Amino acid sequence: MSNDTMPNDTMPTSNTSNDTTTAASPAQRKRRALLYAIGGGALAAALIIGSFAAGSAYRAGHPQQTAANAKAASDTSINASDSCDVTLNVVASVNQWGSLAQELGGNCVEVTSLINSTSADPHDYEATPQDLAKLSKAQIVVLNGAGYDGWAEKANLDASKQRIVNVGDIMGVTATEEHSHEHNEDTEGAGSEGESGHHHHHHGSTNPHLWFSPDAVLKASQAITKAYTDAAPDGGATEATVQRHSNAWNGDYAQFVALVNKGRTQNVERHYAATESVANYLLDYIGAVDKTPATYTNAMNSEAEPSASDLKNAIDTVESNDVDILVVNPQEMGEFAKKLDSAAKESNKTIISVTEQLPENKKTLLDWLTSITNQALAIDTTNGYFLTQDVKDRTLADYEGEWQSVYPYLQDGTLDSVMEAKAKKGDKTAEEYKQYYDTGYKTDVTKITIKGDQMSFTSDGKTATATYKYDGFKILDYEKGNRGVRYLFTATGDVPEGAPKVVQFSDHGIAPSKAAHYHIFMGNDSQEATLKEMDNWPTYYPASMSKEEVATEMLAH
């Protein structure tokens, strides 16, 4: 399905699940190139200290849209503009770092990630002779280190001939004696805390999940860029391409930092519990507070069973007002994790799913971190980032009035300027956007009038009116990581021809508020069947607006 899937025409998404919560980046030149890369990273790092100016790179209310557009432009640039005098052979132990290596090198690198799927368990991974051979033959090797990929660290690497980037070594994070991929029962150090006072998935006293640390990601990008520029011919095309990608990546990183700073300027504080402490580096970075009981965390980190009282304490914590979010690792959903997951669902809490490996639907590491950050901050309702517990019931009063379909304006060319504006920022031509929205907006219902509990639908000059009752709301999870809410209404009594039996509203709102425009899903079957509709979402604006005003309003989004 297209990444431009509704119900948010200002922030296209794609859907993966309809059955969800209900009400729920000579030698002097090389040094200069490296300084550029570090300088860009330093700029991003400076932003986190207190400068919020980069936030202006985002359109108000649409920060993720800007990041998505930049990513689309970056991908296009990689395909169209990369010039290489050599292609570097890169092997990464895991795809988290492999994706970063690919992004920084573009077409001038050939990257192999030995673990490249969320279906692989890195803790039980056994390297094949082929894996070890690839590592020993690579020009550049990218390792996580910190004991996470010990099998790769033990390969026959030669630092005198290869350029080895070990993120654990860069960050000063090393494996502890008690760490092992067999998860020894020795829990010494498993209860120790990180510098921020939060408990981590330690693998002993070490948290090896460094790709979730924005600081580690920034330093890794600098180290990989240096490895590339050192390996490439001096002053050649590959070096120039790598530098261009590094500069672009630093710009994306600055946008990520601006997103985090946006949460800080709004004094957002999220409290979370976690079935595993996989993403704690990132959650700490954005200022979230870990409320997971230490006794539960320690037991899970050492693969011991938490006692009945420890499990009950963890469940009570998840269900309490002290927790906004439960973070789960779908790769490790054992019996106890499932119990916490159920408790979060029953108490209407936001659940964020975080795998260890880069998900198949995420092309870059930074895109993934941005998605998780958006979900955790939950401050961009318009683009589908909100807390489950903040979704409230609504009535037809929020949609009362006379409304006109925008489909005729797409057909008569009024919205051509809107499609052209989308093309300048997105990954489609104006004509391709028009075709996409033709499917989305298409309807023969030109006018809808809502008053009280009645809705009237006008089509071909004929109007049909029916009475509707509220049937709650449904939260839909999209592949991108954002979500949407549909408010459900069902016709009662005799339903005349021309009036749908089922109506679902989506207006990017999650609580009682007068809609400025809305997308509507109509059906004559069940609410469940109508929830499956993702491609057609007729869109309506107030009938009092001229078609030029409608176009202007859309451009503002």
Per-residue confidence at 298, pLDDT binned at 50, 70, 90?
A: confident
Instruction: Give residues with Cβ within 8 angstroms of 51, minimum separation 6.
Output: 261
More confident position, 148 or 539: 539
Cα separation, 505 vs 518, whole angstroms: 7
The pLDDT value given to residue 546: 97
Number of Cβ within a 10 Å radius of residue 523: 17
Burial 292-309 (b: 16+ CB within 10 A, else e): bbebbbbbbbbeeebeee
Tell me how far the alpha carbon of residue 513 is from its chain's centroid: 27
| Cα–Cα distances in angstroms (integers) from residue 268 to residues 44, 166, 289, 328, 376, in the given order | 21, 34, 11, 21, 10
Backbone angles phi, psi at 145, to 5 degrees: 75, -160
Residue 29 has pLDDT above 70, yes or no: no
Q: What angle do CA 190, 192, 197 make, to 5 degrees?
A: 135
**Exposure of 514 by Cβ count < 10 A (0-12 exposed, 13-18 middle, 19+ buried)?**
exposed
The pLDDT value given to residue 46: 40
The pLDDT value given to residue 331: 82
Cα separation, 114 vs 101, whole angstroms: 13
Cα separation, 195 vs 285, whole angstroms: 11
Rounded to 5, what percent of the chain is helix, strand, coil? Answer: 45, 20, 40
Per-residue confidence at 360, pLDDT binned at 50, 70, 90?
A: confident
Average the pLDDT over 469-494 and give the result: 95
Residue 87 has pLDDT above 90, yes or no: yes
pLDDT tens digits for 514-550? 999 999 999 999 999 999 999 999 999 999 999 999 9
Average the pLDDT over 284-306 and give the result: 87
Residue 127 has pLDDT above 60, yes or no: yes
> Is the Cα dihedral 180, 184, 187, 188 positive or negative?
negative
Residue 455 has pLDDT above 70, yes or no: yes
Backbone angles phi, psi at 209, to 5 degrees: -80, 65
Lowest mean pLDDT among 30-39, 128-137, 408-417: 30-39
Per-residue confidence at 339, pLDDT binned at 50, 70, 90?
A: very high
The pLDDT value given to residue 181: 38
More confident position, 53 or 263: 263
Task: Give SS3 for 376.
Answer: helix
Per-residue confidence at 205, pLDDT binned at 50, 70, 90?
A: low
Per-residue confidence at 480, pLDDT binned at 50, 70, 90?
A: confident
Average the pLDDT over 310-339 and give the result: 92
The pLDDT value given to residue 238: 97
**Of residues 321, 340, 194, the one with CA closest to residue 274:** 340
**Of residues 256, 348, 343, the one with CA closest to residue 25:** 256
Given a contact cutoff of 8 angstroms between Cβ atoms, the answer to whether 528 and 522 are in contact is no
The pLDDT value given to residue 323: 96
Strands 502-506 and 401-405: unpaired
Tokens at 17, concatenated: 């699940």
Cα separation, 523 vs 536, whole angstroms: 11
The pLDDT value given to residue 93: 95
Residue 24 has pLDDT above 70, yes or no: no
Percent of residues, the chain, with pLDDT higher than 70? 80
Cα separation, 299 vs 311, whole angstroms: 10
The pLDDT value given to residue 126: 86
Residue 393 has pLDDT above 60, yes or no: yes
Could you give all domains of the chain from N- to C-terminal order, each with its CATH number?
A: 88-174+205-255 (3.40.50.1980), 268-379 (3.40.50.1980), 396-554 (2.40.128.20)
For the entire predicted model, the pTM comes to 0.80
Percent of residues, the chain, with pLDDT higher than 90? 67
Largest CA distance in the chain: 83
DSSP structure class, residue 385:
B
Supply the Cα-derived Rg of the chain in whole angstroms. 26
Average the pLDDT over 433-444 and give the result: 97
The pLDDT mean for the chain works out to 83
Tell me how far the alpha carbon of residue 226 is from its chain's centroid: 28
Number of Cβ within a 10 Å radius of residue 160: 5
For tokens 């078609």, name the residue.
Answer: 547
The pLDDT value given to residue 549: 97
Cα separation, 345 vs 326, whole angstroms: 9
Cα atoms found within 13 Å of the Cα of residue 13, Cβ hemisphere only:
25
Residue 130 has pLDDT above 60, yes or no: yes
Given a contact cutoff of 8 angstroms between Cβ atoms, the answer to whether 345 and 294 are in contact is no
Average the pLDDT over 44-50 and give the result: 39
Cα separation, 170 vs 168, whole angstroms: 5
Task: Give SS3 for 185.
Answer: coil
Highest-pLDDT range among 61-65, 187-191, 276-280: 276-280
Cα separation, 127 vs 556, whole angstroms: 53
Residue 141 has pLDDT above 70, yes or no: yes
**Of residues 214, 313, 251, the one with CA closest to residue 71:** 251
Residue 60 has pLDDT above 50, yes or no: no
Per-residue confidence at 195, pLDDT binned at 50, 70, 90?
A: very low
The pLDDT value given to residue 176: 59
The pLDDT value given to residue 509: 95
